[in-house]
Amino acid sequence: MATTGTAAAPDTEWSEFKLDPESEFRVEVDLSSTAAFEVVRGSAEVFGSEVATRAEVQLRAGSKAAVFSWTGAVVRVKGSRAAEYCAGDTPMPSYLNVHVALENVRRDAAAFSTSSNPLSGPSVMIVGPSDVGKSSIAKILANYAIKHHHPITFASLDCADPPLALPGSLTATIISRPIDIEEGLSGTPSSTGIQPLVYYYGYIDPNEKLKLYQKQVSLLAATVQSKLASDPALRTAGVLIDTPSQFTENPALLSHAIEVWKPSVILVVGHERVYSDLARQFQGSRDVSVLKLAKSGGVRIYEYKERVRVTVTIESSDGTDAAKTDMTYTRSCISRQGVPTRTSISQNPRIFYGTTKFPLSPFSNIVSFNELAVRRVGDATTILASALPIGQDRKTQETKIVKVEVGDILLNSVLAVSHADRLDAIAPASVSAQLSQQIKKRL
């Protein structure tokens, strides 16, 4: 479909766009300022969340959005935009087909489940390289499930960009309301009142401490599965599992996650080789279906330069504009530049102060160091393999619990607050999702 819209207007004025049925309006906001859009007529959605008519939706600096309409709509936009256009060629019909198939499985699971033979809904793992729209597809499928009144479990194994916690975390949550368009999952209250489940891995690349990462993935899977087993509504709705791009590069990561999560559907987005490997592996299987999904043309890979500019903004932030900056860019920038993760985390005010719509009120809670027991998972010292005790290898060091002497070593560090009730249970325990302590302020 040809691009339609009004001629370039000043940032403060609305520009109107007419959307044909099954087309979407894509907008990329400038890195330095914000924008807003409104659905004037018709019905439209953003990643499956319906947009109210005549309600202004704010878009953060550097963010991208796709306003999709099944039946046609008129949208208008204002603010600083780097790009905007309408596209008629979208993979949304194929995403809807997947949803319909998942919905059939949910319906059958609910209809034929008995106490002696409890049936489960689909467990869907989404796999693909970086920037192909995996998280967006997970959101679309979650929102569509919620439209059918299914509270659904949403797990993210993407430790670089977890939707609900600090980078370095693996998370799972139950969502029963449409995902907030402006704030994402972190701005979507769970009407079930259940806190998100967070396991802290502490690095943004799963390969950095492979054994530790796999251990945390297994723990998250086991906890989610036991929750689903005890709750028929959640079990029949199933689970959506978003994964990091490294799963397409390191087969050990992918096969381990498949082993512990036991997905019934694997959606492969934008990666032929992984799709054909998995399709071959599960050929003829009645338990696992492997499907290939097309990447949306709207998902654009960020240029290295763009990512660097955003990081600079965050690091010199005073809590205003940078507070609205999307972590997606930060994360990629950190990994590319080799900047220590914790520096950028502690200097990103959004994590501690929230956003304009959902402000947080962090507070200091003075605790004597004598009352704190600080432990690090993994031995930071690099010991020669030949110097390790017999039967131990470097991998076992990655999950070792090491005592940390409180002091300067914690400067600029963010600590996870463990739910463990005993020190020797720290490793298998989840951590608090309500992390609002900035240790450096107290040192």
Rounded to 5°, angle at Cα 181 from 179 and 183:
85
- Closest C-alpha among 276, 7, 296, 301 to residue 130: 301
CB of 62 to ligand ATP, least distance (A): 9
Stretch that binds ligand ATP, among 9-17, 127-135, 309-317, 333-341 (CB under 6 A): 127-135
Q: Is 367 strand, coil or helix?
A: coil
Please identify which residue in 4, 33, 53, 130 interacts with ligand ATP, judged by CB under 6 A: 130
CB of 64 to ligand ATP, least distance (A): 4
Residue 30 or 231 having the CB closest to ligand ATP: 30
- Indicate whether 133 belongs to the interface with ligand ATP (CB under 6 A): yes
Q: Which residues are paired to 291 by β-bridges?
A: 267
Stretch that binds ligand ATP, among 131-139, 197-205, 392-400, 428-436 (CB under 6 A): 131-139
Q: Are strands 64-69 and 265-269 parallel, antiparallel or unpaired?
A: unpaired
Stretch that binds ligand ATP, among 125-133, 306-314, 381-389, 421-429 (CB under 6 A): 125-133
The whole-angstrom distance between residue 280's C-alpha and the CA centroid of its chain comes to: 28
Stretch that binds ligand ATP, among 128-136, 167-175, 360-368, 407-415 (CB under 6 A): 128-136
- Indicate whether 131 belongs to the interface with ligand ATP (CB under 6 A): yes
* 331-369 b/e (C-beta count within 10 Å ≥ 16 → b): bbbbbeeeeebbebbbbbbbbbebbeeeeeeeeeeeeee
CB of 161 to ligand ATP, least distance (A): 5
* E runs forming strands in 270-429: 289-293, 375-377, 401-403
Interface of this chain with ligand ATP, residues 147 to 186, rule: CB under 6 A: 158, 161
- Indicate whether 271 belongs to the interface with ligand ATP (CB under 6 A): no
- Indicate whether 9 belongs to the interface with ligand ATP (CB under 6 A): no
CB 342 within 8 A of CB 171: no
Q: Is 94 strand, coil or helix?
A: helix
Stretch that binds ligand ATP, among 9-17, 129-137, 208-216, 407-415 (CB under 6 A): 129-137
Interface of this chain with ligand ATP, residues 45 to 104, rule: CB under 6 A: 64, 66
Residue 122 or 133 having the CB closest to ligand ATP: 133
Residue 141 or 290 having the CB closest to ligand ATP: 141
Largest Cα–Cα distance of the chain, in whole Å? Answer: 72
d(CA 202, CA 206): 10
d(CA 114, CA 122): 17
- Indicate whether 26 belongs to the interface with ligand ATP (CB under 6 A): yes
Q: What is the dihedral of CA 368, 372, 376, 377, to 10 degrees?
A: -160
- Indicate whether 209 belongs to the interface with ligand ATP (CB under 6 A): no
CB 156 within 8 A of CB 172: yes
CB 62 within 8 A of CB 27: no
Interface of this chain with ligand ATP, residues 279 to 308, rule: CB under 6 A: 296, 298-299
- Indicate whether 404 belongs to the interface with ligand ATP (CB under 6 A): no
CB of 230 to ligand ATP, least distance (A): 30
Count residues near ligand ATP (CB under 6 A): 18
Residue 234 or 265 having the CB closest to ligand ATP: 265
Contacts of 339 (CB under 8 A, 6+ apart): 311, 333
Residue 65 or 414 having the CB closest to ligand ATP: 65
Question: Residue of minimal CB distance from ligand ATP?
Answer: 298
CB of 66 to ligand ATP, least distance (A): 3
d(CA 53, CA 149): 22
Interacting residue ranges for ligand ATP, rule: CB under 6 A: 26, 64, 66, 128, 130-136, 158, 161, 245, 296, 298-299, 328
